[in-house]
Structure 1
Amino acid sequence: MVLKPALSKCTMSTSAASSLGTKPKPGSTYPIKNLKTMQDFATELNQPLLKKGHTILIDQIPCFQSGVIVSHQGTHVWDSHHVKLPHLYPPPESPNKSHSPPSHWDVTCCALHNLTKGNNSIGDVQTAIMSYNSNNKDRWTFDALFLYGRHLHAKDNNLHLLIPNMAKLALDLPDLITQPIPLLQQQQNLAITMSQQQISCLLANAFFCTFPHRNDTKPSSEYANFPTINFSSLFADEKDPAKLAQKAQKLRAIFHYFNTVTNKSDNQDPAIPDGLVTFERTSIQKPQLPKWKKQKKTLTNLHISSEGSIEHEGTGMLQVEFASNYIGGGVLGSGLVQEEILFFMSPELIVARLFTEKLADNECLKITGPQMYSFTSGYSKTFSWVGPYNDCMKRDNWKRRYRQIVAIDALDFKNPKDQYTKENIKRELNKVFVGYHGDVKTAIATGNWGCGAFNGDPKLKALIQLMAAAVAGRDMAYFTAGNKELAKEIQRMHEILTINKVTVGKLYKLLKKFCGNYTHESGSPIDLYKFIREKIGQKDHLL
């Protein structure tokens, strides 16, 4: 889903008390204004951040007592549990070695310092990046970056100032990141909070492809289980001219982001973003996952609409990101569906690729506080950058915006029939529950999760999400991306299940029965919702 162009409009949040489980008025959807948002839980969100497994890259006391964000001082390490930072590469062979050749970071600094002088061409950017990535000289191309320079730079007309500012930002790395950044590895409950300025510095280094050990994507490589982070694949050629043009549109969003975070104010001081963003990996082990057939809860309130979007109308709710198990999916490649578009609207999300290992079936990633920077339009082949987005979202005491995104990855069904098995339904229920679980019970803003390229059945995926939301104790806002008929069908199914007080456990058993009766004797599929109505004694002629 994407935001509609309305460049002067700020994102605001309206909420009122919700009563979970209240029977909806027949024939109507639950009012979205009654769904709880993050502002309803300000007290909980303003609690101290420091807790076990939470790394905070800034000093909390100076930051919030004096209004100045100060990087927390720590001792850097070079190991398999932390991000290997460019300015530490390669690690010194001996602390007493006196006549060593220039380090990789020395070479990088020299190239980036040259870019700070200004009047750079795209070719200069390529030369700088390749000076410290010579091992990739026969693999890396910069066609998308050159296409941007030829056709779109005239519209934006700021690279002569922006590239030097981005280079300066990248060079600030040793001063801004002064403690180790842990890797959010599988089966761990860990969190990282960092400032927006620190994020922008890390992303500037990603743009200039400075991160070591992150270019080898072979299955046996050190970071094979992590997404890529260096931007080389975004700059690369595409055989399809349309995909190459899409990458140029992606670059417009990226350059707008960097223009925003490096922009000069009237007094010539950088307009440094002053908020914080938290990235939290959650894993729930099998014994703690719900026993679905035993669940006694009934469905919670549902607002459903064919209009609106998760990102706009779902503001302040827990917004579902239809993720790849490698966070960000094809954001730095040719991908342009819901996940990638969201990452270009809010590029701070891209930094999660630096430290988030591939998500397992019992895991999710939650991001709290990211800023929205851009309006976009279109989807996949029709995607384009529209213009700046003025993010007026209120913030908690930790300067995190009241915006929370949860990344959950659906199964990819090459054969759509494969989703109608007990094992796959249980996997999807567990995955969604991990994402929806939490102490802060904001409403869920979601849609047709896993129903595009992954071939999911929207009717089944809607029920799975409603069941998980009920067990997690959350209401839901569901947006069907323009599909009016689907919205009506889901609304009607929700109403029938609510009126008949069908529990999550009973619905789970019905889904299992459906899996055994997926097709008629003729081989044609049975309609899921009709099957459920018949099993609970709700006749179609009574609807």
Structure 2
Amino acid sequence: MGQRNVKPPECKKWSAPGQDYWQKLNESLTINPPDSVDELERNIASLSDRSPHRMNGLKAALEDHFDAQTDDTVFNKIFPFVIKLALRLPSLLKTNEGEHSVNAGAINLLLQDSPGYLKLSRTLVSSLMANLFLGTLPRSRERPFQCNMQPLLSCSRSSTQEVAKIRCYLNYFERLKELQHDPQGFLYIRRQLLPQPYDWSTSEALLCGVEVIPDGGIEDARGSLQADFANCHLGGGVILGGCVQEEIRFSINPELTCAMMFCEDMSELEAIVLTGAERFSNYKGYAFSLSYGGNHIDETPHDEEGTVCTAITAIDATPYFDMPGGQTSLGLQLKLENLQRDANKALAGFMDLDPEESECSKSKYPSVATGNWGCGAFGGNIHVKFLVQWCAVSVSGRSMKYYTFEKGTEKIGVMMRALAQGLTEKEVTVGMLWQVMLNLSKVARGSRDRCNIIPAVAKYFDITIEYNEDIPVIQYDTDTAV
């Protein structure tokens, strides 16, 4: 799940190490340059007088990525460039001094319940990423959050899903090396706070249009605000142990990982929107079957500053795996406080909360691309999460693209499409749908997870849809229905 990011109370800025440290690092990595992973381990460990990490995962990834050439050959293909890039950090902080988000060599931290944003040049981000990858930014009170990838690089060779993530990061640096000039544009890291919980039951917002998409992934939805099924700790287990939607996205768009250095864990009414991260890699499989899928050429347009027009909103769903009743308790997921919590969280991520037009505004990204949020490792019910997100997207004023990731569950997409068409034609409001969900919550207590919610909603609004009759439909007392 990743290490939690909680700041020391007096820390408000991220600061790089002082000049003496960089001089020592330069001596360790360039005057006596390592020419193998083993030497890199020893040189970096010498900076802190600790035992070297055994970078077995990195060795495996290098062998796979460069077709099993000898260790010194593959090392020298990429690491001299990564080391040089890492050592540019002090000068890049000076270059960016007074502009955007860098002041006196420090970068503001984005702390809980404090909306704000960072605008970092992608060149600065690339140097931060090089240091993150090498583990050359020691954690301290000035750098309280995630600042190295040693746990990932030290994974077991047998953890093929972790090795796949390392290959994505190697491909990022290889592509930067081939570029032969600094990357253009910026990475925006925006912390959004919903000012107060929304009153869902009285909302007069009309339900928005929904496009249900059975193929492809959220990352394919160019021009949409794309959902990151996040952990409250941004990036989740991308550094080690995670290999599902968020971790995969941070691996194929590696610049996203940089945001972990500056963001405290999200609170209940917060989301973090990341704009401008380029995609560099493809992938195959999912979770423990994840594998590296080769190089990816991102054809997403760039804006006038050169920033990649990709906006990703990180929202963390309620985790049901550690709640009483576990993931099979539908009644728990339909409880008012849990519906409100996830609807407000989604709204924080989808709403255009900046009074001025921002880099991720509704005018630039008029739709939200999402899917089965919190329905994997977090144990959420797909029907419930579809309805909750539909409400949130509708209130945000955007439209919704819903990726069902269907394999053997095609009828779920059919049900969603039919319900969306029927309710929008009837001009049903968010408040009306919310009241029906609350009614269902009264009769869902004790119900198991495999119950059809969408057909029950359709029945209330007198809409006929096809559904899997092997799975029961929740029944409710029409005398108490709203």
TM-score, structure 1 as length reference: 0.74
Residue of 279, 296, 299 corresponding to 2:189: 279
Following the alignment from structure 1 to structure 2, what is the Cα–Cα distance between the partners of residues 454 and 126?
Answer: 36
1:147 aligns to 2:65 (yes or no) = no
5 Å-filtered alignment, 1:238-249, equals: 238=156, 242-243=158-159, 245-249=160-164
Q: 1:303 aligns with which of 211, 222, 236?
A: 211
Q: Give runs of aligned pairs for residues 56-75 of structure 1, distance below 5 A.
A: none
Q: Give 2:16's aligned residue.
A: 85
Residue 46 of structure 2: aligned partner: 131
1:109 aligns with 2:26: yes
Q: Which residue is equivalent to 2:98?
A: none
Task: Confirm whether residue 395 of structure 1 aligns to residue 302 of structure 2.
Answer: yes
2: CA distance, partners of 1:212 / 1:104? 10
Local SS of the residue matching 1:194: strand
The secondary structure found in structure 2 opposite 1:170 is helix
**TM-aligned CA deviation for residue 536 of structure 1:** 3.1
User: Which of 296, 304, 327 is equivalent to 2:234?
Assistant: 327
Of 360, 366, 378, which aligns to 2:273?
366
What is residue 6 of structure 2 aligned with on the other side?
Answer: none
Shift of 1:448: 0.7
Q: Structure 1 pair 524/160, CA: closer, same or farther in 2 (3 Å)? A: closer
Q: 1:168 to 1:345 in 2, by over 3 A?
A: same
Output the amino acid matched with 2:214: S
Counterpart amino acid of 2:338?
N
Match of 1:420 in 2: 334
Contact residue 252 and residue 281 of structure 2 kept, 8 A: yes
- 2:42 is aligned with what amino acid? T
Q: Partner residue of 1:515?
A: 441
| Residues 199-223 of structure 1, C-alpha deviations (whole Å, 9 max, x = no match) | 0100111112122325xxxxxx997
Structure 2 vs 1, CA of residues 538 and 258 (structure 1 numbering), >3 Å: closer, same or farther?
A: closer
- The answer on 1:450 being equivalent to 2:364 is no
Query: How big is each residue's C-alpha offset from its partner over 1:248-300, in whole Å with a ceiling of 9 and x where there is no partner?
Result: 22221111111111236xxxxx32212212111111222xx421111012211
1:193 alignment counterpart: 119
Pick aligned residue for 1:206 from 132, 148, 167: 132
CA distance in structure 2 between the aligned counterparts of 1:434 and 1:477, rounded to whole angstroms? 18
Task: Let me know the Cα RMSD of the aligned residues.
Answer: 2.4
Give ranges in structure 2 of 5+ residues lacking alignment. 1-9, 95-102, 353-360, 468-482
C-alpha displacement of 1:411: 1.1
Whole-angstrom CA distance in 2 between matches of 1:143 and 1:392: 34
Partner of residue 178 from structure 2, selected from 263, 266, 269: 263
Q: Distance in 2 between matches of 1:242 and 1:379?
A: 16
Distance change >3 Å, CA 315–CA 130, structure 1 → 2: same
- Give the direction of change, closer, same or farther, for the CA distance of 1:476–1:127 in structure 2 (3 Å limit): same
- Cα drift, residue 338 of structure 1: 0.8
Contact 2:226 2:370 in 1 (8 A): yes
**Aligned residue number for residue 169 of structure 1:** 85
Deviation at 1:443, TM superposition (A): 0.6
SS in 2 for 1:430: helix
**Correspondence 1:373-384 to 2 at 5 A:** 373-384=280-291
Deviation sequence 1:384-427 (CA, Å, 0-9, x none): 21222122222112221111111111111011223221001000
Which of 441, 452, 468 in structure 1 is aligned with 2:392?
468
| Cα distance in 2, alignment partners of residues 470 and 247 from structure 1 | 37
- Change in Cα spacing, 1:150 to 1:385, as seen in structure 2 (3 Å) is closer
SS at 1:133's partner residue?
Answer: coil
Query: C-alpha separation between the residues in 1 aligned to 2:79 and 2:13?
Result: 29
Q: 3-state DSSP class of the match of 2:264? A: coil
Checking the alignment, whether the CA contact within 8 Å between 1:205 and 1:211 is kept in structure 2 is: yes
* Alpha-carbon distance change, 493 to 122 in structure 1, aligned in 2, over 3 angstroms: same
Q: Please state how far the C-alpha of 1:541 moved relative to its aligned partner.
A: 9.4
The alpha-carbon distance between structure 1 residues 164 and 524, as it changes in their structure 2 partners (threshold 3 A), is closer
**Size of the alignment, in residue pairs?**
426
Quick one: structure 1 residues 537 and 176, their matched pair in 2 at CA, closer, same or farther if it must change by over 3 Å? same
Q: Counterparts of 1:222 and 1:87 in 2: how far apart (Å)?
A: 11
**Structure 2 vs 1, CA of residues 355 and 534 (structure 1 numbering), >3 Å: closer, same or farther?**
same
* Counterpart contact for 2:270–2:345, Cα < 8 Å: yes
Tell which has more relative contact order, 1 or 2 (C-alpha 8 A, sep 6+): 1
Residues 540 and 403 of structure 1, relative CA distance in 2, 3 Å threshold = closer
Q: Distance in 2 between matches of 1:493 and 1:538?
A: 7
1:303/1:477 contact within 8 Å kept: yes
- CA deviations over 1:177-215 (Å, ceiling 9, x no partner): 12321001011111111111110100111112122325x
Q: Which runs of 5+ in 1 are unaligned?
A: 1-78, 89-102, 215-220, 265-269
Residue 86 of structure 1 deviates from its aligned partner by: 2.6
> Partners in 2 of 1:526 and 1:346 — Cα distance?
36
Decide whether aligned partners of structure 1 residues 540 and 350 sit closer, same or farther in structure 2, where only a CA change above 3 A counts. closer
Q: 2:18 is paired with a residue of what secondary structure?
A: helix
Matches within 5 A, 1:529-540: 529-538=454-463
In the TM superposition, residue 105 of structure 1 has moved relative to its aligned partner by 3.4
Q: Give the Cα–Cα distance (whole angstroms) in 1 for the partners of residues 347 and 155 of structure 2.
A: 40
Task: Select which of 405, 408, 421 maps to 2:312.
Answer: 405
- Is 1:294 the counterpart of 2:202? The answer is yes
